[in-house]
Each structure stands twice: as C-alpha cells, then as structure tokens.
Amino acid sequence: MIKRIRALLEWKQLDSDQKQKIKAISILIGLPVSRPALYLKALRHRSIVAEKKLAATESYEQLEFIGDAVLDLVVSEIIFKKYPDAGEGLLTQLRSRLVNGGMLAQIGRNIRLMEYIELGDRVKNQGVEYSESVLADAFEALVGAVYQDHGYDICRDFVARLYHQFVNFDEMVSARDNYKSMLLEAAQAKKMPAPVYRIVQESGPGHEKVFEVEVRVNDNVLGTGSGKNKKKAEQVAAQQALNILKNI
C-alpha cells in the first residue's frame, strides 16, 4: 500500500515527457515501474547535472555502483548453475567476460538503451549515448534501479532473461583460451588502452621460421612469446601479460 502511494505521488510530479519515458522504460524492461525517479536517474548522464543544477548524485553514477555489484552476483549464479562441473578458474574467466564493459554495452545496444539516456545540451548530437562506456554504465545503473525498485529476485530474473536472450554462453566457453581476447578484456576492465603487439625478431629458415612477439599495455612490455607463426606467438605473449596484469 505504501509503495503504491509513493508511486502515485512520484507519478504526479512528472511532466508529460517524463511520463512517456517511464511508460517506454516499463515496456523496455518488461516490469512495472513503481519508483519513476529511480529510472530517470539511472538514465541521466552526468552532463545534465550541472546544466540543470542537480545534486552530484542525480546522475546514473550512484546507481551504477549498486548495479555493478548485483550484476556480479547474478552472473555468478547463472554460470555456476549452467556449468556445475566447471572449475573456479573457468568460472572466474567467464564472469569477467560477461560483466566487462564491452558485454554490458552490447546488451545496452540490443535493448536500444541509447534512446532513453538523457544528455545535457552541450553533448547532444555527438553520439555520446552510443559510446561503449556510457552504454555499459547506463545498463549497470538500470540494473541498480530494478534492484532498488523490485528487490533481488525480480532483478535476477530480469538480468538472466537479457543474458539468455543476447549471449551465447557455450561460444564464450569454447573461446576461453583466446588469451588475446582475455587480455583485451582485462585491460578494458582496468581502464587501460588496448594491448599493442609487435614482432621483435624472426629467426630460422623460411619453412621453419620462429616469430618472437612482445605485447605492450600502457606502453609497458608485459609479455613476450615465440611461435611458428605470428598468431601463436601473440597468444603466448598475451597469456604471459594476462598473468602480470591480474596482479597490477
């Protein structure tokens, strides 16, 4: 009863554009919205805070924090149940790939989240809402809003539905030994630039050539590897760099 009264009071405070947006968001997430202000906040880019003289906590960044934690737990549950025989290493790798910025942005694009992000006038028409970081952050904030509005169980079902709809889990498992992809994901998670690979030496006759490759992250050499072709050498270097990057 209290929840319904609060929802009604919040609804009356919205203007017509906000009401239309909340109706659209409800359809988007497939759930009723009882706390409209949460969802407006979850999709409010920081560029509009100063413009409208709002409190610093009124952008999506605060809800992004709780959404990040909820996503970690929900995704951990999903893969733990889906792969009961998997070891901790594989589960950890899978979770890392399933909650990184690229994956969250991909889900955000799939549900057309960019159409609901509120931007300040100074950044409109610059494609900000299509950027990977903004889509990932907004998706985390949306998950945080659903959690705050409906509680963990409903939020878990919401997240699981999206992941099962848009993610090929078995394909990700089969690609788990792609160390170059894993290194890229780890670098992105730490807000570092993409790894750069360079052949530093070629040796041996033409039919038995050996390539030595180094990989740099943030302009630091984190790994070297050798192999009979460039791709194999890069994978060895990436595996070495990944082990180092995890401890940075």
Catalytic entry in 10, 118, 129, 140? 140
Is residue 85 flagged as an active site residue? Answer: no
Residues 6+ apart with CB under 8 A from 158: 29, 30, 31, 143, 146, 150
Is residue 170 flagged as an active site residue? Answer: no
Helix runs in the chain, H state only: 2-12, 16-29, 36-42, 47-51, 61-82, 88-98, 101-110, 132-150, 152-166, 169-174, 179-189, 230-245
**Number of other residues whose CB lies within 10 A of the CB of residue 108:** 25
DSSP state of 126: T
CA 185 from centre of chain:
10
CB-count burial class (<10 Å; 0-12, 13-18, 19+) for 113: buried
Nearest to 67, CA basis, from 126, 124, 131, 148: 148
* 169 φ/ψ angles, rounded to the nearest 5 degrees: -65, -45
Catalytic entry in 68, 72, 132, 212? 68
Could you give the 3-state DSSP secondary structure of residue 151?
Answer: coil
Token digits of residue 128: 């900000």
Active-site residues, by number, are: 68, 140
